[in-house]
Structure 1
Amino acid sequence: MGFYIRKAISVGPFRFNLSKSGVGVSAGVKGLRFGTGPRGNYVHMGSGGLYYRKTLPSGSTGRNQTSNSPELQQSNTEIEHESLREIESAHITQMVDSSSADLVAEMNDNRKKVRIWPFIAVLGATLTFVAFKSSETPTLAFAIAAVSVILTVFASVKDSLRKTTVLFFELEPEIEALYQELHDSFGQLSSSSSKWHVEAEGAVKDRKRNAGATSVIKRTSISLSLGNPPYVKTNVSVPSIPVGKQTLYFFPDKVLIFEPNGVGAVSYPNLRISVERTRFIEDGSVPRDAKVVDRTWKYVNKRGGPDKRFKDNRELPIALYEDLNLTSDTGLNERIEVSRVGHGDGFSSAIAMLAKSI
């Protein structure tokens, strides 16, 4: 997937520029520099490790496990099964590494700030309406409306500055190459015809009436893409994976987890990714890039053949998929599934190489 590193980031009227001593912020006239606007976070990554710095003032290794699972899975949650076990992460506030605490605290504080432009817009509209009703000439009303629009635009820009966090990365060549490998492997994952987030899993009670499946899962289709989290500006392209109410963003130095109510973080040395191949009984259409490895019947007898007591007993394909389990000691616990086998190992290896470099 496309990878870039910008030398400058614009946030409203402010422009963040990379210098040898960190990140400088300027606005208005070229060369004018002062300490207002959003804070910039400068991250240098190289052979010497990680180095963090704020905006200038004005004046363990991921694990890679690949195995063939003999279990058969099915996604039809209407069949009789045991209670589904949710596959979900801990509360967002628990997923914070000590090295990320300050950054996560800043992001959470920014997200909690109330936007003021809607209040100004409503107040301006109300005053304009009253002026039109009470004034014999519309001049005053037009003047109030014009001022309200200007103040609303100004407040909107101000809100954006107050709520935005800037992340400025400077990557040495060896780290840039590793992050490029992460992008390339992520692109291979995203090229799969179908991607799912596995939300829950449970054991099947009656295998004979459920195509011989041993477990049933609840999953939703997802899309893997590049993009920045809300109210975050950065100079690199960031791979992202949605996992239910949360979204994982793979930055050069860590994974940031965003959800509507907060932000968490997992460093790459603390991130574990296990890759497993799973046989899945498809009740619907098989993705075009999936490999069909066997077939079964909707209702099977004791020998695994078709149960002839059922007239609607149709043959079902068994596809081979790949599961990626993402976990951490701080509570991350997510699983995604892709239809194309063979690309999960590359993604896991890229994460492991980044972890070794930190």
Structure 2
Amino acid sequence: MEDVTGATIHELVATGRGDIVEQLNDAAAYRSWTWPIFGVLFLAGLAIASWGWLLSGAALVALVYLVLRDQAKRRVIVFYDVEGADERWFDSLVDSTTVAAASQKVWRIVESGQVVTTRQHKTNAGAGNLVSRVSATVTFDAPRHLATNIAVPTITAGHTSLHFLPDRILVKEGRQYADVAYGDLVSGARSTQFIEALGGLPTDAQQVDRTWQYVNVKGGPDRRYSNNPERAVMLYGQLEMSSPGGLYWKVQTSAVSATNRLHESLRAAPRH
């Protein structure tokens, strides 16, 4: 099995428009001393003489100011005014994301390995390739450090996420940000077959075949195994996104149309 998640956030090559990214990284790295300072002042006010209530009251006033200041330090405000062809394109991307968000299941593939021996093929339900996936979500949630006036199409898998803005793709990993220009993005979509255990299968996906956990060379069930559960062969959509700088995401959706729609929208993205 090989990792197929691409470059880490620190390895991604910058697009050259790092103003927002630098501000977001500063906001994510900001550490507040508000509550420790307030706690010291408030307790000191309680501990000293009868006039200590003045110090405690001052601490409360300072708390309000410092909390508001912290909120400003932890958030980057960006307003977009998108018009004309760019507005129509971004609206189509939002519509495509809505379709993907309605897909019952979404995954990101994080590891992939080729089945190379007959024994591996026979003991892995006849699969030609093995993958490891993590559950993903499709939403319109902007990253917590960004305040903006638009819906932000977002794909999140674990502690990593892609946020599609009108002028760039934000890549977030933990508390770090990078970006990718649409002009550097390469995307592709196709349908793919995936072998699943029976039970809890997504109803918006098509079952195209069946197999067993252990198969013989002709593809039928291997009768030597008394416990040989049947498996469903499902048809899913798959979207691949990459960039010369090292971005690589492979996303599966239970609804094939979801990845096709997203690919078409990304392919039409403005390249300026």
Any idea what the Cα deviations from partners look like across 1:209-253, whole Å, max 9, x if unmatched? 221112222112222111221221111110111133221100011
Which of residues 205, 215, 220 in structure 2 aligns to 1:300?
A: 215
Contact 1:89 1:331 in 2 (8 A): yes
Q: Give how far 1:113 is off.
A: 2.7
CA-CA distance at 1:125 after TM superposition: 4.2
Instruction: Verify: 1:122 aligned to 2:33, yes or no.
Output: no
Q: What is the CA-CA distance between 1:128 and the residue it aligns to?
A: 4.2
Shift of 1:183: 0.4
Amino acid at match of 1:345: N
Where does residue 90 of structure 1 map in the other structure?
A: 7
Structure 1: unaligned runs, 5 residues or longer:
1-83
Residue 138 (structure 2) pairs with residue 232 (structure 1): no
Deviates further, 85-94 or 209-218 = 85-94
**1:346 aligned partner, one-letter code:** R
Match of 1:145 in 2: 56
Structure 1 residues 56-75: aligned runs within 5 Å: none
Structure in which a larger fraction of residues adopt helix? 2
Preserved contact between residue 212 and residue 300 of structure 1 (Cα < 8 Å) = yes
Output aligned runs, 1:211-222, within 5 Å.
211-222=125-136
Give the alignment partner of residue 101 of structure 2, picking from 184, 187, 190. 190
Matched with 1:260 is 174
Pick from 247, 264, 272: which aligns with 1:332? 247
CA–CA distance in 1 between the matches of 2:223 and 2:15? 61
Report the equivalent of 1:6.
none
User: Shift of the alpha carbon at 1:141?
Assistant: 4.5
**CA distance 1:98–1:223, shift in 2 (3 Å):** closer
RMSD: 1.9
User: Is the CA contact 1:241–1:249 (under 8 Å) kept in the aligned structure 2?
Assistant: yes
Q: 2:232 aligns with which of 313, 317, 325?
A: 317
Amino acid at match of 2:90: Y
Could you list the per-position Cα deviations for residues 61-114 of structure 1 after superposition, in whole angstroms to 9, with x for gaps in the alignment?
A: xxxxxxxxxxxxxxxxxxxxxxx2112231323435444223222222333232
- Pick which of 88-97 and 172-181 moved more: 88-97
Does the Cα contact within 8 Å between 1:199 and 1:244 map onto a contact in 2?
no
Q: Which one of 191, 195, 200 corresponds to residue 281 of structure 1? A: 195
Where does residue 208 of structure 1 map in the other structure? 122
1:237 corresponds to which letter in structure 2? A
Answer whether contact 1:197 1:244 (CA < 8 A) is retained.
no
User: How high is the TM-score relative to the length of structure 1?
Assistant: 0.70
Contact 2:211 2:230 in 1 (8 A): yes
The corresponding residue for 2:185 is: 271
Superposed, 1:163-202 pairs within 5 Å as 163-202=74-113
Identity %: 27
Q: Is the 8 A contact 1:94 1:264 kept in 2?
A: no
Q: How many angstroms does 1:265 deviate by?
A: 0.3
Question: What does residue 156 of structure 2 align with?
Answer: 242
Structure 1 or 2, whichever has the larger Rg, is 1
User: Normalised by the size of structure 2, how large is the TM-score?
Assistant: 0.91
Tell me if the contact between 1:268 and 1:354 (Cα under 8 Å) persists in the aligned partners: yes
Post-superposition offset of 1:305: 0.8
Alpha-carbon distance in structure 2 between the residues aligned to 1:279 and 1:334: 18
